[in-house]
Structure 1
Amino acid sequence: MFAIPWPAVVPLLEDLPPWHGRIVVDAKAPASHFRLPGRYELGGLTSSQVVQASAAGERVVKAFCTLPASVLALPPATVAGRRVMFLSGDDEDARAAVGALIDDIGCYAAVDLGSLSTGSALQQPGGPLAGRDLRLAADGVGE
């Protein structure tokens, strides 16, 4: 699980030894806080693409980063359904493993958004899914 302040990301990752195919769950956002508008210029990449490019041999899956802590502190499953937890990544097997982890937690509904370029852009600050608290109803129809 990777969740550190954005300015420390690239220097930290570049100093670590090779990851040898390990899965890194990227749970950070390139902003100082969800309530603040400031974002970092990433040269057209998503923050998770920057993470993947900075650490040799890792398989990055963006997850657990869309909702602020105040929402995550609430019960994730209610009569309205399970809270949606988005994920994205370029490695299909890594996405499947993180999706299974989310499902194994038992109270979140994993929703796979595809690649880092597309799915992470939807999740990170400024994206249409950032901060959206969505539920997947028990019958599979989202609310």
Structure 2
Amino acid sequence: MEQSGLNRRDFQRLSAAAVGGLLAGASLGNAALGADEKKVPKKDPKKNPMLGEPHICRGINMCKGLGASKDNACAGQGTCATAKEHLCHYKNECRGQGGCGAKPGENECKGKGECGVPLSSGAWKKARKRFEELMKKEGKEVGPAPPKKA
């Protein structure tokens, strides 16, 4: 059997360098992802939960480029929800992501939504009307809502 020129100390140094490279790559990847997330207005706990991202349905996005397709021209023109889709009430992940009830999109915490996302037609009408009221109060323009997909 031939003996390798690699002793245990060399092996430890090479292993430590490899692990260091993995950690450096992972931290750079996280930094790149974090840069994209900074552009999205998060839900401010002092404001109505509907005024932030992610949003619950088409036409309820806060800014240009924040619809699911990222190609909407301005607030209120996103074509789809960016909140995680869920079919049943109490399955929403966060504040402002519940689908219907008296105030769709305005639930105060995780698991307190009434219905699923994306919204039903009736809940969407109620949510869009409330979104327009809130945006007007904030002094922000809202574009026309996109048509419902067939």
Sort the TM-score into its range (normalised by shorter chain).
under 0.3
Which structure would you say has the larger RCO, counting Cα contacts within 8 Å and 6 or more residues apart?
1
- TM-score relative to the length of structure 2: 0.24
- TM-score relative to the length of structure 1: 0.25
